[in-house]
Structure 1
Amino acid sequence: MVAGTRLDSQDPHYREGAACLQTGSGFFRVQSRPSRDLSVLLAAHQATRAEGPQHWLDLMAGCGIRGLRWGLESAPQSPHPLALWLNDADPERMDSLQANLKPLSGHAGVDLALSQQPAERLLRQAYLDQRRFDLIDLDAFGCPNGLLQSALAVLRFGGVLILASTDGRSPTGHDRVAAVRRFAAAARAHPSSWELALRLQLAALAREAWMLGRGLEPLACFSDGRTFRLAVRLHRRVGADEEGSLGLLARCEHCGDQAVQPVLKLSGWRACSCLSEVGRWAVSGPLWLGPLQSPALLQELLTLSEAMPHSLAPPSRRLLERLQADPGLPVCCWSTDELAQRLGLAGPPPLHRLVQALQGDGYWAGVSGVMAGQLRTDAPWKVLLQRCADLA
């Protein structure tokens, strides 16, 4: 995947979108361009719907590439002025930040501020100063949950929080004790582990928003297996039945069946599909049972990208198109590799043919946009197995 361009082998500059800068010796992943493209489009979308000046915060700016692209690509989409604040706690980053952001110095309509503070201190001081932001990018190392309430407290109603987590072990069921500490939840190993991690992170975000009396709307959620990324919009009030999106996901390791229950309607679990009493549910959660994506907004971003020709690399466009086609419902996902293994097939069934067969039976079925080779459906487990066997 080509995410950006080095100008030549002797030049330390890196080009991405409209930005040209030096990434420096700190941590930087060229492969993370899809997340940066998404942040640029979300910032531009915020700018187009703004009714007044915009305030955007890059809380962990690194080399400053997101802020530079915001200023060069996103800000021109709005007639309103932009207050752009880039922060990184590492004091050794400041010289690099100042050099990389020179193109925004004196840039019409952009008021640039740089700082080097711990994220928690900046957010708490912003709250005390009654500063609010329309867009916050929190690109954290490890689990970001300790910063969630502070970030949401300074996010405007209708504002967007873009969140990243590199904590892959605890929410995917590989460190269950850490999952209890960080998410107050059980996390069990699951074939759809990336989606499980995203839903646990969304549940943590929703609980923090609800404690503030606010509502939460997922806009886009995805992962490359290394970093888990979410974009959510904060609403003034909790939506109708929004609390019904918090629940539990159960899976029987023996037979592969799955079941879901909202916390508000929690009761005894139904029997799994085991023919004997060997099977037993392994339950994960509480986690988010609602949608993972906003297909309408993602379509608006794809349309907006046509007017911003440098904003969306081909791999990023393919990612957004996959997410736009998969709202994240129903919750239960199955891997075609697991289906083939359970049926003793030589290889996985053709995914799109399996989706069509289930749809022909009157069930909802679609390809997962979160993990390759997976489908989500509301068809009973035995029906799903039978359709796989028919295709084989």
Structure 2
Amino acid sequence: MWASPQSAPVEAGWRAVACTRLETPVSHYREGAVCLQTGSGFFRKDSRPSRDLSVLLATHQASEAQRPLRWLDLMAGCGIRGLRWGLEALPQSRPNLELWSNDADPDRSSLLASNLQPLQSVHGLSLITACSAAERLLRQAYLDQTFFDLIDLDAFGCPNALLQSALAVLRLDGLLILASTDGRSPTGHDRPAAVRHFGAAARVHPASWELALRLQLAVLAREAWQLGRGLEPLACFSEGRTFRLAVRLRQRVSADEELQLGLLARCERCGDQAVQPLLRLSGWRSCRCCDGQGRWAVTGPLWIGHLQKPALLVQLLNIADLQPITLSSAGRRLLQRLQRDCGLPVCCWSTAELASRLSLAGPPPLDELVGSLLRAGHQACPSAVMTGQLRTDAPLAELLQQCVQHVTGES
């Protein structure tokens, strides 16, 4: 079902998708249940695992909702996310879905319209497309009191300027899928930009990808709290180039949610780490430098709570197994990896760095190191965000001792 001025009143500039012939032929690309033309604009095949996740999240929401839904692909590009949502994520028994697809580049309008044509035959789906700046679309939606159950914001650079507007039009318990390609500032390589973009100090750290995700979550949490809402991270990951988060907006701030905002300190001399919530901030303990000359380098404020919701990720994997959703092998590996690591404890350690500090021949076997730490009564697991890293609450001295034991066999 196509949107009309009577069925879906929108501002001037919005229009229903029409059949449009592309003037220049482009190659077709197949992914999941869709076949489309990517055109000459920016498109990354390697981002498929993140698109798989968005389809599964949309499917999960559609299967549980008891009312009509409204989804927004804010920066649609060639339209692949919206097309996959409509063809893969919508059960036949669903109430009506209103799918909005927007891209600010007018040169991509005909491509977007052509790619989305298969959605004409989807029962219960109304499709609305636009060529509008993201900020204008979100602000107009707020003025019109048009709210969305799912928003995908796949930004170039830092998306923080759009967060308040996006959260303001996200329904309670709605999902925000966020991408950022701003890698330098949250990883500590452009500290002035981190202050401007995140209102935070950012330091270079072995677990830099994770800290970038935690800094982004902190900004999201503060924006949600200003609206009187709570924030629940569902999945957070990166391949080093793009930082991706999926979060749920809650009706209210949960008990002690403010304790999830804190600071992470690291001594570059000895490698020790410490974490403190902002609500309980006090003097930092001494690091493990034996001569007392070490100094803490502090990153934050950042999110020090969980990064993943493992129970939901297991449900998504079950959905992929039980329903005709084409989950790529890379997407399946991603979900399996994330569901084994909720993101706590906060401190992550690079086994290669630990081995280097000890002048060992090589890093200890990660699984064996995790196992020995668990047997010693500590929390420990491989990091799902960066390979070759583990997260644990074990003291640095014991962690180093375990490394030596697993590499040299000395006790």
Q: TM-score, normalised by structure 2?
A: 0.92
- Give the gaps of 5 or more residues in structure 1: 1-9
> Aligned to 2:330, which of 298, 302, 315?
315
Larger radius of gyration: 2
Within the alignment, does 1:113 sit opposite 2:134 as a pair?
no
Q: Deviations over 1:154-177 (max 9, x none)?
A: 000010000000000000000000
From 295, 305, 309, give the equivalent of 1:294: 309
Residues 264 and 273, structure 2, Cα contact 8 Å, conserved in 1: yes
Runs of 4+ in 1 over 6 A off after TM superposition: none
**Residue matched to 2:147:** 132
Alpha-carbon contact 1:135-1:160 (below 8 Å) kept: yes
CA distance in 1, matches of 2:398, 2:158: 38
Structure 1 equivalent of residue 299 of structure 2: 284
Within-5 A mapping of 1:52-131: 52-76=67-91, 78-131=93-146
- In the alignment, the residues of structure 2 paired with residue 323 and residue 129 of structure 1 have an alpha-carbon distance, to the nearest angstrom, of 38
Aligned length: 383
Question: What is the rounded CA distance, in whole Å, between the counterparts of 1:71 and 1:107 in structure 2?
Answer: 7
What displacement does 1:144 show? 0.2
CA contact (8 A) 2:272 2:287 kept: yes
TM-superposed deviation, 1:11 = 7.5
1:234-254 Cα offsets, whole Å, 9 max, x none, are 001000100000000000000
Residue in structure 1 matched with residue 255 of structure 2 by the alignment: 240
What SS does the aligned partner of 2:322 have?
coil
Can you list the C-alpha shifts for 1:46-71, whole angstroms capped at 9, x where unaligned?
Answer: 10110100100000000000000000
Residue 286 and residue 11 in structure 1: after superposition, are their counterparts in 2 closer, same or farther (change >3 A)? closer
Contact persistence 2:63–2:91 (CA under 8 A) = no
Structure 1 counterpart of 2:136, which letter?
Answer: R
Shift of 1:106: 3.9
Q: d(CA) in 2 for partners of 1:37 and 1:17? A: 8
The C-alpha deviation readout for 1:62-93, integer Å capped at 9, x for no partner, is 00000000000001265211000000000011
- The correspondence for 1:332, drawn from 317, 327, 347, is 347
Q: Distance in 1 between matches of 2:326 and 2:236?
A: 19
Using structure 1 for the length normalisation, give the TM-score: 0.97
Counterpart Cα distance in 2 of 1:390 and 1:48 = 50
Return the offset for 1:137.
Answer: 0.1
Aligned to 1:20: 35
| Structure 2 residues without counterparts, runs of 5 or longer | 1-24
Q: How does 1:208-219 map to 2 (within 5 A)?
A: 208-219=223-234
Instruction: Give the share of equivalent positions with the same residue, in percent.
Output: 71
Contact 1:60 1:89 in 2 (8 A): yes
AA in 2 matched with 1:339: L
For 2:252, the aligned partner's letter is R
Does 2:353 correspond to 1:349?
Answer: no
Residue by residue, what CA displacement relative to the aligned partner does 1:274-332 show, whole Å, maximum 9, x if unpaired? Answer: 00122100000000000000001101100011123443101110010000000000000
The whole-number CA distance in structure 2 between the counterparts of 1:204 and 1:214 is 13
Equivalent residue, structure 1, for 2:49: 34
Distance between the aligned counterparts of 2:210 and 2:152, measured in 1? 21
CA RMSD in angstroms comes to 1.0
CA 1:371/1:113 → structure 2, altered by over 3 Å: closer, same or farther? same
Secondary structure of the equivalent of 1:72? helix
The reply to whether residue 168 of structure 1 matches residue 183 of structure 2 is yes
In 2, Cα distance between the equivalents of 1:18 and 1:164?
23
Letter in structure 1 aligned against 2:68 = P
In structure 2, the partner of 1:256 is: 271
Match of 2:9 in 1: none
Give the secondary-structure state (helix, strand or coil) at the position aligned to 2:138.
helix
Equivalent position SS for 1:75: coil
Q: Distance in 1 between matches of 2:320 and 2:92?
A: 11
Superposed CA offset, 1:200-234 (max 9, x none)? 00000000000000000000000010000000000
